[in-house]
Structure 1
Amino acid sequence: MDLAERSTEWETGHPIRLRRPVQGSGPAWAGRGRARMIPPNIRYGWEHSGNPLVAGAHGWADAVAATRPWLVESRSSLEGAPVLAYGGLARGHSHGLPFLEQRRGGRSTRQARRTSWAELTSGRAAPAADLLVIGIPRRMAPSPPPRHSLLLPFRVGQAVPVGPEHGDVLDRLSRQARKQHRHEMTVRCRSLEVATRESDFDYFYDRMHKPTMDRRHGDRAHSEEREHARRCLFHRGVLFFLCESGQRVAGMLCRLEGRTLVLRLAGVAGGDKGYYRTSAYLTVYVLLLQWAAAQGLRRVDLAGCEPFLSKGIFQFKRRMHPQVGLPDDHYRDKRLLLWARRDTPAVRDFLVANPMLLIGVDQSLEACYFHDADRPPRVDLPWRSPGVRAHRLVDCDGFLEGLPGPA
């Protein structure tokens, strides 16, 4: 039977030759109608290409679009929670601020207005904010950062090199994780299915990816549109299912770019959170890494996330010991300036609870843990990863000295 007409199962050590069919920015609330008029593959390349010319052009376009940047002030329904403000590059409204709001807790209420770069970089733009976060092009980032502020990458990427010289994928895991993986592979009769039919894509998108995104992120979910994902990912990549006794329980849609497998969309059956407790996701990642190595690929790109050690997906992917670094795409030349504007118990709680990755003048990454006499550093959120050169402990007393107290 032709490969395009069937699905296949894969087990470690049995490579599969795939034949794939060949087929020919502003704030989150702006520009969507115009974007749909652009052919999907061009849109995908514009958004994700690591080509320096494309990434540079994208960065220039983002900067032009932010000539009069938006400032969003966010307040929580929790009494005493810090007031957050984000301004600058539009991507932060959808890719940075939601994470910070989630970490703060409560129901968020936003107010938006136009501001200027002069107001933002002087700190005058958000007088009511306890913490001001500015998304800024790398060339505009202050060096050194102003007092009471830190410079972060806008996002970080995580990628795992694979191949004979990098050893067995399982050796990357802790002894306990290896034991759990092998136990559940046997007890749950797990296997990896490589799917190639159009109906397989529909099954994944409708019954795994969309329910998972809806349950985890609600109306703030961000993903690839259905037909965009079909054309730019499924037709140019690989769709995997994790099966238990032949039943699909999780899936991952990836794109092939040369000898790199790029993870793009994921989901579990019906969005059921119970599958996370059974290490289904860990198994998917392990089997994908093994599959990539068996196919002769050189790298598995685990995709990017916000530069905070408190980000759950960052810590989850750390289990595979990926290389952490700046993304290859336009995010490479974007930065976040995190600026404390008041010294309050809530600000201290927030800084201590969210260790972060800083970026130096030489573009190296360093972990930063806040602490004070009453708040120990969150070293339970580990930083050690290839690509993160060191860590530092920052005393809140010294960092926040001179700032006003609660309003």
Structure 2
Amino acid sequence: MIRTSAVAAWERAKFAWDGSGNRVLATARHLADTAVAGRTDWQVFRAGPLRIGYGGYRAGQSHVLPFLRERARAAGLPTGPVTEEPAGHPFPDVDVLLLGCSPRRAAALPSTAAVVAPFRVHLVLPTTEAGRPRPVVVSRKERQRFARERDRRGWELEETRSGADLTFFYHRMHVPTMARRHGDDARSVGLRTARDSILARGVLFFVTENGERRAGMLCRRDAAGRRLTLRLAGVLDGAAEHYDSGIFMATYLLITRWANDRGIERLDLSGTEPFLSKGILQFKRKLHPRVELPPNHFARKRLWLGVRRDTPAVRDLLAANPVLVLREHGRIEAVYFHDARRPARTDLRWGGLGLDAARYVNLDEFLAGLPSDGGPR
């Protein structure tokens, strides 16, 4: 019993260390990460003709690196294994380099052919305005689909804090969904942490279809009870049919209404990498959240993206992945890269995210002066 209690206490402490919004704890975590970052080896992989490298904060190895590999595969590029190169200078010999670093270091790095992004962003949905419930803002098409399918399928929201229900959700919904969506790159918290650090301070929701549980989300409330954060999600057995039915979007809509009714002020839809090509970001954009810096140590971290060579593959990568960039006074804007052969990916929309602006950057100007192979761009 003593050993079990010690393990539980350790896991609760680790959970707080990893994601607490407490200012003192978040600052301590950031300083500790920054001290270690310079000694972390570079992670390098090949994607077709590209060599892409990541270095700095170790968290990027489970956030930034899998995203880059997924985007390379989405572009049809074969990806090789990740290899390590020694930390420190000089930078590894790559075409595109990303570095997780402090704001101070980001400001000292080269600004030519480079941008500075938040290390991560959160999508936050205000659920009240002027003290009153804020209507759920989705397109007319989404509202009509939700109403139609809710009547046809009998969708209802179920609220529970049962440990047995959590076990069912974790093993039958969350784990299979993460495996289906992310494969070997899937990451999550353990069941004990989900129970002791999330459910103990939150609530588990199921959406039932004609009385049968089909989707679920585990959420955590902050100490003041004004912010509800969506932490774990899934559909039954990770089955694609439940995404096709629209029940995943219905889960967000029903939880938002639940939050409205209880005076919760902000619904945190959780974090993501700072790229408009991130699929979950585009999905959640339909709810019209606001892009914000995370409410924990990630708010103090930056992602420097620098290009080392001007090649067609580099241009393809940049044009296909518009990035969220930090500007003065903490403003966040969307940057779309383009050139004569590669139009800006405006199908990856920035509207509805509460961003300050969008900027269109010509790759001929952005990459001017970099070495190239001399071929057509």
- Normalised by the length of structure 2, the TM-score is 0.92
Residue 126 of structure 1 aligns with which residue?
92
Contact 2:133/2:261, CA 8 A, preserved across alignment = no
| 2:198 is the counterpart of 1:233 | yes
- Distance 1:314-1:386 versus aligned 2 partners, 3 A rule: closer
- Distance 1:147-1:164 versus aligned 2 partners, 3 A rule: closer
Residue 108 of structure 1 aligns with which residue?
80
Residue 63 of structure 1 aligns with which residue?
34
Identify which of 356, 360, 376 aligns with 1:393: 360
Following superposition, the deviation at residue 144 of structure 1 comes to 7.8
Following superposition, the deviation at residue 137 of structure 1 comes to 1.1
| 2:19 is the counterpart of 1:48 | yes
Residue 230 of structure 2 aligns with which residue?
263
Identify which of 101, 114, 120 aligns with 1:149: 114
Q: Which amino acid aligns with 1:295?
A: R
Identify which of 314, 335, 352 aligns with 2:302: 335
| 2:110 is the counterpart of 1:138 | no
Alpha-carbon distance in 1 for matches of 2:201, 2:263: 17
Which consecutive aligned stretches of 4+ in structure 1 deviate over 4 angstroms post-superposition? 35-38, 164-168
Task: Give the aligned CA root-mean-square deviation in angstroms.
Answer: 1.8
Paired residue total: 363
Identify which of 320, 332, 336 aligns with 1:365: 332
Alpha-carbon distance in 2 for matches of 1:108, 1:277: 32
Deviation per residue, 1:381-400 (Å, 9 max, x gap): 11123541001100111111
Give the secondary-structure state (helix, strand or coil) at the position aligned to 1:109: coil
Deviation per residue, 1:197-219 (Å, 9 max, x gap): 22101110010001111111122
Residue 6 of structure 1 aligns with which residue?
none
Give the secondary-structure state (helix, strand or coil) at the position aligned to 1:404: coil
Alpha-carbon distance in 2 for matches of 1:271, 1:317: 19
Contact 1:150/1:339, CA 8 A, preserved across alignment = yes
Residue 73 of structure 1 aligns with which residue?
44
Q: Which amino acid aligns with 1:161?
A: P
Following superposition, the deviation at residue 234 of structure 1 comes to 1.4
Q: Which amino acid aligns with 2:122?
A: G
Q: Which amino acid aligns with 1:335?
A: R
Following superposition, the deviation at residue 125 of structure 1 comes to 1.4
Give the secondary-structure state (helix, strand or coil) at the position aligned to 1:382: coil
Following superposition, the deviation at residue 50 of structure 1 comes to 1.4
Give the secondary-structure state (helix, strand or coil) at the position aligned to 2:372: coil
Residue 308 of structure 1 aligns with which residue?
275
Alpha-carbon distance in 2 for matches of 1:295, 1:256: 12
Paired-residue identity, %: 42
Stretches of structure 1 lacking an aligned partner (at least 5 in a row): 1-23, 25-34
Identify which of 267, 279, 283 aligns with 2:250: 283
Stretches of structure 2 lacking an aligned partner (at least 5 in a row): none
Deviates more, 1:307-316 or 1:195-204: 195-204
| 2:352 is the counterpart of 1:381 | no
Q: Which amino acid aligns with 1:328?
A: P
- Normalised by the length of structure 1, the TM-score is 0.86
Alpha-carbon distance in 1 for matches of 2:328, 2:100: 17
Alpha-carbon distance in 2 for matches of 1:38, 1:83: 43
Alpha-carbon distance in 2 for matches of 1:107, 1:242: 38
Q: Which amino acid aligns with 2:177?
A: T
- Distance 1:310-1:158 versus aligned 2 partners, 3 A rule: same
Following superposition, the deviation at residue 334 of structure 1 comes to 0.5
| 2:164 is the counterpart of 1:199 | yes
Following superposition, the deviation at residue 40 of structure 1 comes to 2.1
Contact 2:72/2:79, CA 8 A, preserved across alignment = no
Q: Which amino acid aligns with 1:66?
A: A
